């Protein structure tokens, strides 16, 4: 008679219960509270808040710079992952460890360092000023800060998938006459695309809500370099909790829609 082995983790019902309770306390209840607080506004009041020119400008800036930063990291992060996986060279482990630096470094410290470097009087910013353009206190500076913060998301998502692709498959394709571009298009790209989309979505989501690394290099000029998280802080400093909640709901809805579209695209790609 076979002896039944008890699972290490309790059964489905208990683990699902713990999962739902934890998720509710950490995510669902706070988000529900935000929607409930925003429901005190009439639709006209809510629309007047979220459609104000200052809010629209901050919305375009936050989502636009986050999108550009995610696209940049989608390219650069994939190249970094490729180099770290496919090549062996002195200092590879050091570079691999430095990829995670934005995770460990406080974002405010990153913002101060980037501002000191790219300000008009900084080491790099002064050369940009001589060439006739500015980096800090512009949307370009915000994009640069978001690129720094969100880089690990793409690299760490693509890297393990790339490591699992056997090099023999590429060599076999090359032996059959496939050119490098054909190998990438028909072998590497289909395997990497779902992971790339996941890293892109994570980088984009982090960039939209980033605050610490941006406020120093942005300059925080209304209608020009003011991001939505900073505008929420301004509302809170003015004790306008309802207005801050309305902007938070706007960010949540727009972010959810965009992430949902990315996830649907990823699922469609993964489905044979």
Q: What pLDDT sits at residue 174?
A: 75
Number of residues assigned to the chain: 272
pLDDT over 60 at 228, yes or no: yes
Q: Which residue has the tokens 């076999």?
A: 172
Q: What pLDDT sits at residue 271?
A: 66
Q: What pLDDT sits at residue 19?
A: 86
- Please write the tens of the pLDDT for every residue from 11-64: 777 888 888 898 888 888 988 888 888 888 889 999 999 999 999 999 999 999
pLDDT over 80 at 102, yes or no: yes
Q: What average pLDDT does the chain have? A: 87
- Please write the tens of the pLDDT for every residue from 117-176: 998 888 888 888 888 888 999 999 999 999 999 999 999 999 999 888 877 777 787 787
Alpha carbons 125 and 116: distance in angstroms, whole number: 9
| Confidence bin at 4 (pLDDT 50/70/90) | low
pLDDT over 90 at 76, yes or no: yes
Q: What pLDDT sits at residue 149?
A: 92
Give the C-alpha distances (Å, rounded to integers) separating 268 from 45, 258, 264, 265.
39, 15, 6, 5
Of 24-33, 176-185, 203-212, the poorest mean pLDDT is in 176-185
Q: What pLDDT sits at residue 9?
A: 63
Q: Which residue has the tokens 């802080």?
A: 233
Task: HSE, CB side, 13 Å, CA atoms: give it for residue 236.
Answer: 9
Alpha carbons 68 and 272: distance in angstroms, whole number: 30
| Confidence bin at 65 (pLDDT 50/70/90) | very high
Whether the CB-CB separation of 111 and 145 falls below 8 Å is answered with yes
Q: Kindly report the pTM of this predicted structure.
A: 0.86
- Please write the tens of the pLDDT for every residue from 242-271: 889 999 999 888 888 888 888 888 777 766
| Confidence bin at 272 (pLDDT 50/70/90) | low
pLDDT over 70 at 7, yes or no: no
Q: Which two tokens stand for residue 256?
A: 């959810």
Helix, strand, coil distribution of the chain in percent, nearest 5: 75, 0, 25
């Amino acid at each position: 008679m076979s002896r039944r082995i008890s699972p290490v983790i309790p059964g489905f019902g208990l683990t699902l219960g713990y999962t739902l309770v934890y998720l509710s306390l950490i995510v669902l209840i706070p988000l529900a509270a935000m929607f409930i607080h925003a429901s005190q506004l009439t639709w006209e009041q809510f629309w007047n808040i979220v459609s104000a020119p200052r809010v629209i400008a901050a919305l375009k800036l936050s989502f636009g710079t986050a999108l550009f930063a995610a696209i940049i990291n989608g390219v650069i992060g994939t190249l970094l992952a490729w180099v770290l996986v496919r090549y062996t060279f002195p200092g590879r482990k050091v570079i691999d460890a430095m990829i995670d630096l934005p995770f460990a470094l406080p974002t405010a410290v990153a913002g101060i360092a980037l501002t000191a470097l790219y300000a008009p009087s900084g080491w790099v910013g002064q050369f940009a000023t001589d060439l006739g353009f500015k980096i800090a206190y512009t949307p370009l500076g915000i994009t640069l800060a978001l690129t720094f913060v969100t880089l690990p998301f793409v690299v760490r998502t693509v890297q393990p998938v790339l490591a699992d692709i056997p090099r023999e498959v590429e060599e076999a394709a090359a032996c059959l006459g496939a050119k490098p571009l054909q190998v990438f298009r028909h072998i590497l790209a289909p395997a990497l695309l779902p992971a790339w989309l996941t890293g892109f979505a994570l980088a984009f989501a982090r960039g939209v809500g980033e605050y610490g690394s941006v406020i120093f290099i942005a300059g925080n000029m209304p209608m020009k370099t003011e991001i939505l998280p900073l505008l929420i802080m301004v509302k809170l400093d003015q004790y306008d909790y309802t207005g801050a909640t309305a902007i938070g709901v706007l960010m949540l809805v727009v972010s959810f829609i965009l992430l949902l579209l990315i996830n649907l695209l990823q699922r469609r790609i993964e489905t044979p």
